[in-house]
Structure 1
Amino acid sequence: MDSTCAPLLPNGLGAATNLGTIKEEIKTKADAIVASTIPDAAPLQNFLALTRAGDVLYQSTAGTRQLGSSEPLRFDDMFWLASHTKILGAMALLKCIDMGLIGINDSVLDHLPGLAKEEVRLDPNDPSSATQPRVGDITVRNLLTFTAGNAYPVVDILAALNPETIVTDPKAFFPTNESVYEGSHAANPNQIWRYGAEADYSGLLVEALTNVSLGQFIRTNLLDPAGVEAKDFAFTLDSEQRARLVGQHVRVSPDMLIPRAPIYDDANIKFESAGAGGFGTINALGLALLPLINQGVHPKTGERVLSSELVAQMFTPQLSGDEVENGLNQPSQASNDGGVLFPGTPKQWGLGALLFPEGFETGRGKFTLAWAGFTNVNWHCDIEKGVVMLAWSQEIPQDDPVYNNQTRYPIERVIYDAIGNSFF
């Protein structure tokens, strides 16, 4: 683990003395960006920025529920979260630690016999490679830091798809069964950071430890204490939620987006995927993330969701120098083009998500925690400046540079420029 520590949580509102003026400045400039770029840079967008106290700093809704539709997007529409679900899975496993059900350095293999049996590829990048027995234990920390050595079978499946099929075939193509996570490992534990199936195993571990479904555990221990209504998050949609489900899209060129049928079929799930299986509203996820910049306590409900000690560890670099150099600074399946994530930007991994120890070019503060979903559903928790920010669309491939550079990042810059030194 890196010895660098995350910043201490600022006390109170800091220098922010006129929230109304800041909000007005943000709204004028950010609304202009949205109006000039949606639906060209992205088919649709819900955007939400919350202060540490849980007050809305900026929110907007733009576009229709799918290209070609006349029905406007709504703020309470349901989005497929894809890997945005991972942070909820991580928080759920951390809650199990708080409950005394397991320790962060405890082995998980007795609880996950399927994981215990998996072997390691001789060629880490070849799913069909010959294998050999795993060397080394796998702990809770390994799952939360993506250092267990897991490959990501679902990404291998997606990479093998015909691009024409992705665009034109109306059938869902994202797996909803064990093929998401089951398969040979890319490395032995504690060798590298690699984007793999660890998050799904985290969810399976929560179920093994608690004997309740992942969705029910998240509902009871994370969402209810955050004031999130039951209708605004699910792994399987009921008829009312499905009526609010936003349509999905594929970018086929920098200037062309095509609508398509749902990528993930929630009606046919075989397990509740902590890695990619959630559906929710942007407000629900914003509320759920607020405890992370408040030492584990929800600012609106007053409920403690996680211990302050574990929250501090989430924002503390967990990887060794070798794990960073041989993992985070290497080409990754998590990037848009298979290249290095955020090249040239200092990176680390906390417990459950990517860390930016020196912040990010848009103005994010030091040790901001962040990740995103396959369909360009993005979030970050800025513990230094006291902001939770979510920028959601529904298109693939992930981390779309057109959307990022024309809409998402310009709005971020507007928000951070307006905040200045008035940290919340």
Structure 2
Amino acid sequence: MHDFTGADVGLPWAERPETVGVSSAALERLSHFLEHTVDKSIGHSFPMAGALIARRGKVVYYKGKGDARTEEGTPLQSDSIFRIYSMSKPFTSLALLMLLEEGRLTLEQPAHLYLGPRWEKKNLRVLEADAKETVPCTNDITIRDLLTHTAGLSYGFFDKSPPNPVDAYYAKSNAAAAKKNETLAEMVDRFADLPLCHQPGEAWNYSHAVEVQARVVEVISSKTIGEFLRERFFEPLDMRDTAFTLDEEKYRRLVSLHVEKPDTSKKDVTRSHIRQGNHTPSMRLEAAGQGLVSTFRDYARFCQFCMNEGELDGRRLLGRKTFQLAVRNHLPENRDISQLAVPSYAKEYATRGIGFGLGFAVHMDPALSGLQGSAGQYYWAGAASTEFFCDPEEDLFAMFFTQVLNRDEIKMPLRTLFANIVYGTLVDRQSGPRSSL
């Protein structure tokens, strides 16, 4: 076990976990969990894993297990860099809300005002599940639709059942973008030619909507999304290692990436990603929904910024009310994802009691979901089995990082197991105002 207690995580450490209402003894369960998940003697092991917990603005736990670089046997370090994939999404969504605060756009405006006439409803078509032909698009895609994944866009994944007929178009588009090493603007421009999988605003489908959000940010700000995030988020929050690309020194700190095979064994695919130039300056696409890398330290600072509702270390980047708006359920008629998800995503995301805000999933009803957490908890995850959640009621956030794609969610329900352990460490009743570091 690698004990990073006292390491620089960009936040103060609690003198003892008990001073912020967390049990030291119960935290040992998390250490056992890390040991177990990286135990190579079991079938469902991770190559490495780490976890960080903070409450009331102070870190109470940060430990890791395993090797950062599998082939080299390099131990995981406190400053190891991880691919966070979809944990990139909240940055882009909040960037759009920064522009909302500046009076540059509204949630109900149609996206074509910023993306051009090709995005007008009269120029879009819809190909719903089981449909043989496209039909006219009857609703404009709004900024809110983009933020809540209700725009009708898709991702292009082929492992969904029942299949989404639109995904074939997106898979072809994704392949072309990669082959041509396209920019974000070039990639998003092509999306206007692809069919939608449902009428905008009428269903929920996880999608490239965040890339489209990012393009709106670029058009309004006249900056690339990488420049905008660096200037408005990463530098003000002192997030030193969060970026789309890495220099040579930082690339050496990037941990190995693995894919889980059907028998739950892991295949190291790091070399193929190196050959593709991922996260190097040669990569032109700044994939705002999935393309960032980060560290525990950097993401902890972002989580505390969220816990403080848009402020950290005396620097306010987003208004309190604006942030509160982001972490409320915005699905139509206050429905949850289970009531709106398209068939291809219903099985994966159809947990009752979970809604979606402006960039985050929102826990609406713990009794209905059967999941640990308070009403108002917000969270998301990354494709390589990275997780985070923030719980305002408990003034608590927690993160779990590893690097495994295609994890079997049935055999390893990571978020549920992790949350069960974290909430089991709380030994007091939360009272008083949240921290405001």
Q: Please give the TM-score of this superposition, normalised by the length of structure 1.
A: 0.80
Q: In the superposition, relative to structure 1, how do residues 154 and 314 fare at CA in structure 2: closer, same or farther (>3 Å)?
A: same
Candidates 66, 76, 79, aligned match of 1:76: 79
Paired residue for 1:142?
Answer: 145
Deviation for aligned residue 1:19: 2.4
Paired residue for 1:98?
Answer: 101
Paired residue for 1:223?
Answer: 234
Deviation for aligned residue 1:349: 0.9
CA offset digits 1:148-169 (Å, max 9, x no partner): 11122366469979xxxxxxxx
Is 1:315 paired with 2:327? yes
Deviation for aligned residue 1:132: 4.1
Candidates 279, 282, 302, aligned match of 2:293: 279
CA RMSD, 1 decimal: 3.2
Q: How does 1:278-357 map to 2 (within 5 A)?
A: 278-298=292-312, 301-321=313-333, 324=336, 328=340, 331-333=343-345, 339-341=347-349, 343=351, 345-357=352-364
User: Contact (CA 8 Å) 1:353, 1:369: kept in 2 or not?
Assistant: yes
Is 1:371 paired with 2:380? yes
Candidates 34, 44, 47, aligned match of 2:48: 44
Paired residue for 1:9?
Answer: none
Paired residue for 2:246?
Answer: 237
Structure number with greater CO (CA < 8 Å, separation at least 6) is: 1
Is 1:256 paired with 2:256? no
Deviation for aligned residue 1:142: 1.2
Q: In the superposition, relative to structure 1, how do residues 401 and 259 fare at CA in structure 2: closer, same or farther (>3 Å)?
A: farther
User: Contact (CA 8 Å) 2:17, 2:23: kept in 1 or not?
Assistant: no
Q: In the superposition, relative to structure 1, how do residues 71 and 340 fare at CA in structure 2: closer, same or farther (>3 Å)?
A: closer
Is 1:358 paired with 2:365? yes
Question: Which amino acid in 2 is paired with 1:266?
Answer: H
Q: How does 1:58-69 map to 2 (within 5 A)?
A: 58-69=61-72
Deviation for aligned residue 1:196: 1.6
Q: In the superposition, relative to structure 1, how do residues 199 and 95 fare at CA in structure 2: closer, same or farther (>3 Å)?
A: same
What SS is found at the alignment partner of 1:385? coil
Deviation for aligned residue 1:26: 4.0
Deviation for aligned residue 1:404: 3.3
Once residues 200 and 51 of structure 1 are traced to their aligned partners in structure 2, the CA distance between those partners, rounded to angstroms, is: 32
Once residues 366 and 18 of structure 1 are traced to their aligned partners in structure 2, the CA distance between those partners, rounded to angstroms, is: 24
What SS is found at the alignment partner of 1:384? coil
Question: Which amino acid in 2 is paired with 1:381?
Answer: C
User: Contact (CA 8 Å) 1:370, 1:379: kept in 2 or not?
Assistant: yes
Deviation for aligned residue 1:123: 3.5
Once residues 182 and 374 of structure 2 are traced to their aligned partners in structure 1, the CA distance between those partners, rounded to angstroms, is: 36
Deviation larger for 93-102 or 149-158 = 149-158
Paired residue for 1:120?
Answer: 125
Q: How does 1:198-213 map to 2 (within 5 A)?
A: 198-213=209-224
Deviation larger for 148-157 or 241-250 = 148-157
Could you tell me the percent identity over the aligned residues?
A: 22
* Aligned length, in residue pairs: 385
Deviation larger for 130-139 or 113-122 = 113-122
Question: Which amino acid in 1 is paired with 2:265?
Answer: M
Deviation for aligned residue 1:247: 0.9
User: Contact (CA 8 Å) 1:93, 1:202: kept in 2 or not?
Assistant: yes
CA offset digits 1:318-346 (Å, max 9, x no partner): 1124964775455444xxxx724254x41
Question: Which amino acid in 2 is paired with 1:19?
Answer: T
Q: In the superposition, relative to structure 1, how do residues 347 and 212 fare at CA in structure 2: closer, same or farther (>3 Å)?
A: same
Deviation for aligned residue 1:304: 0.9
Q: How does 1:178-189 map to 2 (within 5 A)?
A: 182=191, 183-189=194-200
Q: In the superposition, relative to structure 1, how do residues 90 and 204 fare at CA in structure 2: closer, same or farther (>3 Å)?
A: same
CA offset digits 1:50-90 (Å, max 9, x no partner): 2242x112211111124444111112111112111111111
Q: How does 1:371-410 map to 2 (within 5 A)?
A: 371-397=380-406, 400-404=409-413, 409-410=416-417
CA offset digits 1:277-333 (Å, max 9, x no partner): 1111122112112222222222xx111121111111122111124964775455444
Deviation larger for 351-360 or 395-404 = 395-404
Q: In the superposition, relative to structure 1, how do residues 317 and 108 fare at CA in structure 2: closer, same or farther (>3 Å)?
A: same
CA offset digits 1:12-37 (Å, max 9, x no partner): xxxx9932772522432211221232
Structure 2: which 5+ runs fail to align?
A: 1-15, 159-166, 173-177
User: Contact (CA 8 Å) 1:330, 1:339: kept in 2 or not?
Assistant: no
What SS is found at the alignment partner of 1:22? coil
Q: In the superposition, relative to structure 1, how do residues 27 and 17 fare at CA in structure 2: closer, same or farther (>3 Å)?
A: closer
Structure 1: which 5+ runs fail to align?
A: 1-15, 162-171
Q: In the superposition, relative to structure 1, how do residues 125 and 389 fare at CA in structure 2: closer, same or farther (>3 Å)?
A: farther
Deviation for aligned residue 1:137: 1.8
What SS is found at the alignment partner of 2:150? coil
User: Contact (CA 8 Å) 1:375, 1:393: kept in 2 or not?
Assistant: yes
Q: In the superposition, relative to structure 1, how do residues 130 and 74 fare at CA in structure 2: closer, same or farther (>3 Å)?
A: farther
Paired residue for 1:168?
Answer: none
Once residues 241 and 371 of structure 1 are traced to their aligned partners in structure 2, the CA distance between those partners, rounded to angstroms, is: 25
Q: In the superposition, relative to structure 1, how do residues 207 and 403 fare at CA in structure 2: closer, same or farther (>3 Å)?
A: same
Once residues 176 and 285 of structure 1 are traced to their aligned partners in structure 2, the CA distance between those partners, rounded to angstroms, is: 28
Is 1:89 paired with 2:100? no
Q: In the superposition, relative to structure 1, how do residues 266 and 176 fare at CA in structure 2: closer, same or farther (>3 Å)?
A: farther
User: Contact (CA 8 Å) 2:261, 2:267: kept in 1 or not?
Assistant: yes
Deviation for aligned residue 1:260: 1.4
Once residues 169 and 303 of structure 2 are traced to their aligned partners in structure 1, the CA distance between those partners, rounded to angstroms, is: 29
Q: How does 1:27-42 map to 2 (within 5 A)?
A: 27-40=27-40, 41-42=45-46
Once residues 120 and 259 of structure 2 are traced to their aligned partners in structure 1, the CA distance between those partners, rounded to angstroms, is: 37
Question: Which amino acid in 1 is paired with 2:200?
Answer: P
What SS is found at the alignment partner of 2:204? coil
Once residues 20 and 338 of structure 2 are traced to their aligned partners in structure 1, the CA distance between those partners, rounded to angstroms, is: 46
